[in-house]
Structure 1
Amino acid sequence: MRAARLTVSTAVAAVAALTAVTGCTQKSDAKSAGSGAIKVTADDDSCKVSKKQFPAGHVELAVENKGSRVTEVEILFPDDRIVSERENIGPGTRHSLTAEVKSGDYRIACIPGMKGKGHRQDVQVTGGKSTVKRDPRLDAAVAAYRQYTQAQADETLPKVKTFTDAVRDGDLDAAKKAYAPSRIGWERTEPVAESFGDIDPKVDVRADGLEEGQKWTGWHRLEKALWKDKKIGKEEKGLADRLDKDLKDWQQRVGKAEITPTSMANGAKELLDEVATGKVTGEEERYSHTDLVDFKANVEGAEKAYELLKPVASKNDAALAKELDKQFAALDELLDKYREGKQGYEFTSYDKVGKADQKELSDAVNALAEPLSKLAAAVVK
């Protein structure tokens, strides 16, 4: 579940909880921003952009959060599909976002509290439809990643049906057993699913992330019924039908998603942000405590994107690639400590993971997230 669906209080609490676990504050990465970067200044009441018109190709946003709340910056198509985004930008910090854009109309949004539509500025990208000259290996990476996201969606639907069939049958134990496996493919490719804008709120929102007037549907509504309420009624069976329908929509649309090398790289970083603000804190799976299953799937999705981009990233920045190899390996090894069994996706219930172990996991996530934030810039050098 994307952080943008959190309430203001929960978003701040998630970052505060992460700080308490890690013993450190959020780092800024804007020092790497180039002199040609477009400056985006976000505060609680506005979103200021230094240029309203710029040429197609690779664009870099140098973001500064002057507000009092955690914010998010997005580049959006006019229909609200996400081109690229940077979440969890703390008050008083600066971050950069590198993206690839074609000519056309777009919006840049700053979302204080990471909820709702935020404050928006219309911008225009000029020039031809394809002014970016890519290394052919990047085109191959995009094609392979598109196949990967489609395969994950295709493989998810049967697992979801096992889960929803158990709900429809009123089988509490079978539904609990099928819940976490049904989410793996989604968690591996979540940034692509979120890029559509409308699917994530239907299937992966938590109660504290609901917009005003929004009906609570999806996995987490059913998670609450199974673990907290310990009941499956008529409403839950209807929600199982709805989950099947909404995820079928995802499966049919995912192959048409807008994917670029930079969106792959930024998506990998977003997956680590998901881990930091949801899984490490125990916020995501608060009833089932299956957070480590989601954690592992997020890391796998990030690692897949990196491995596909690695041939170009290692050529452009060998030191960065070496560091990413090291930190992915370290995090994978650490997660394996919590496997229950040598194979499969059975992990220790997160409510049994102590504060010291949570800190160790969080430190490993932070150690990977910092170099991963530089991957997008590395692939476009």
Structure 2
Amino acid sequence: MVLAGGLLAALVPVLSGDPEGAAGQGKAAATDGLRHTTVEVSPGGCGRGWGNPRAGTQVFDLHNTSAAAAEVYLTSPRSGAVYGEVEGIGPGTTRHLRVRLGRGSYAFRCLPDDADAVTGPTVRIDGGGQAGPAAAPVTEHDLIPPALDYQKWVAGGLDDLVGRTGTLRAALARGDLAAAREAWLPAHLAYERLGAAYGAFGDADQQINGTSAGLPDGDRDPEFTGFHRIEYGLWHGQPADSLRAPAAALDDAVRKLRDDWAQTRMEPADLGLRAHEILENTLQSELTGRTDYGSGSTLATARAHLDGTRAVLTRLRPLLVPRYPGLPHVERELSRTQRLLDGFRKDGRWPALSHLDRAQRERIDAVFGDLVERLASVATLCDARRTV
């Protein structure tokens, strides 16, 4: 696990070729020029080997001498804050943890698979400057309240979505293509704002918002359904008769999703990851034009994804405020990016990506790319960690 954005030390998951760690340690030290210390990872010897502690940037070669895989945290014994972590250290293998240490107390915490956590001896560094950033671990229990609150928010969003897909279905049922085109985008954006819940939607997400990618007959494949199937028909001159069945199927799928949602349980540990993935997917799909089937509405979708990201961050904010000093900057950048996109909307209409010049597209890509990088820290901080 590597924590982005400099919140914890970067963890370099390099597997040593020498079971004893000596050869791998020597090669790494020769390459990076840093001080290396071999530390034992085992239930009976967690943290053994760290003598003569010093401040500064250094590498711990974590060697698992036990018969089970383990993860390791370098922690503050007083607060439990984590300075660095390495997951999945296999039996007999060595992984490298690079950290910056300063004045303070430290202890390694070893968490073997299927066994209780063990904390090694406390090591004190009396000199040196400030240590690298650290954050208190987030547990799955911590994530349950924000996840439940987010689920309630999604339930309200699904109610709104049902009303909007019903309007779209009714327009096509009476053969009013102009009204259907007007109804399509508000309905689609209502769904796109629910981005952090897609994993809990299961197969319904493909039925509602799937693309033609990978289908044998592409845009004309019978398995191409949902919003994008209707979008393709509405903006490629297809008659209302050909779109009534897809609209009815979409409306039915949305209603079933809404009705089943009360029995659905989101995985609390996924919430932080989704905060990062929403805009990562925006960069990969919407801002490349891959999901535009004729409406030219990908900027509107990107804007909806910003709303969806903010909805997740709002629920995670109590956990993030004491752990993520960069959160205020992320929130400011979200607002700045919203203003940037809103500036392209004229008279209630969004321009297609193809109507933007190169400088405009590069600016949009840059601000989204920056947000994605910073939100990676949210994903890592909210990755549920063991404490026992």
TM range (shorter): 0.5 to 0.7
CA–CA distance in structure 1, aligned partners of residues 268 and 245 of structure 2: 39
Aligned equivalent of 2:299: 292
Q: TM-score, normalised by structure 2?
A: 0.61
200-209 vs 219-228, which moves further = 200-209
Residue 153 (structure 2) pairs with residue 145 (structure 1): no
Correspondence 1:203-282 to 2 at 5 A = 203-210=208-215, 215-234=223-242, 236-282=243-289
Which among 301, 308, 311 is matched to residue 304 of structure 1? 311
Letter in 2 for 1:313: L
Q: Deviations over 1:118-141 (max 9, x none)?
A: xxxxxxx8589xx94644xx4432
Aligned equivalent of 1:47: none
| Residue 264 to residue 247, structure 1, CA distance change in 2 (3 Å) | same
Letter in 2 for 1:146: Q
CA–CA distance in structure 1, aligned partners of residues 212 and 171 of structure 2: 23
Unaligned runs of 5+ in 2: 16-63, 72-84, 89-112, 117-137
Residue 186 (structure 2) pairs with residue 163 (structure 1): no
Aligned equivalent of 1:358: 361
Letter in 1 for 2:283: A
Aligned equivalent of 1:72: none
Aligned pair count reads: 271
CA–CA distance in structure 1, aligned partners of residues 204 and 86 of structure 2: 27
RMSD: 3.6
Which among 170, 187, 198 is matched to residue 192 of structure 2? 187
CA–CA distance in structure 1, aligned partners of residues 196 and 216 of structure 2: 20
Could you tell me whether the CA contact under 8 Å between 1:188 and 1:300 is conserved in 2? Answer: yes
| Residue 206 to residue 126, structure 1, CA distance change in 2 (3 Å) | same
Q: TM-score, normalised by structure 1?
A: 0.62
Could you tell me whether the CA contact under 8 Å between 1:193 and 1:254 is conserved in 2? Answer: no
| Residue 36 to residue 370, structure 1, CA distance change in 2 (3 Å) | closer
Correspondence 1:1-381 to 2 at 5 A = 29=4, 132=139, 134-135=141-142, 138-210=143-215, 215-234=223-242, 236-318=243-325, 320-341=326-347, 346-379=349-382
| Residue 30 to residue 295, structure 1, CA distance change in 2 (3 Å) | closer
Task: Give the superposition deviation at 1:293.
Answer: 1.7
State, as a whole percentage, how many aligned pairs show the same letter.
20
CA–CA distance in structure 2, aligned partners of residues 283 and 28 of structure 1: 30
Q: SS where residue 240 of structure 2 aligns?
A: coil
Could you tell me whether the CA contact under 8 Å between 1:271 and 1:302 is conserved in 2? Answer: yes
| Residue 250 to residue 224, structure 1, CA distance change in 2 (3 Å) | same
CA–CA distance in structure 2, aligned partners of residues 126 and 36 of structure 1: 24
Q: SS where residue 236 of structure 2 aligns?
A: helix
CA–CA distance in structure 1, aligned partners of residues 166 and 69 of structure 2: 47
Q: SS where residue 202 of structure 2 aligns?
A: coil
Larger gyration radius, structure 1 or structure 2: 2
Unaligned runs of 5+ in 1: 1-26, 40-49, 64-124
| Residue 133 to residue 225, structure 1, CA distance change in 2 (3 Å) | closer
Task: Give the superposition deviation at 1:61.
Answer: 9.1
Q: SS where residue 203 of structure 2 aligns?
A: coil
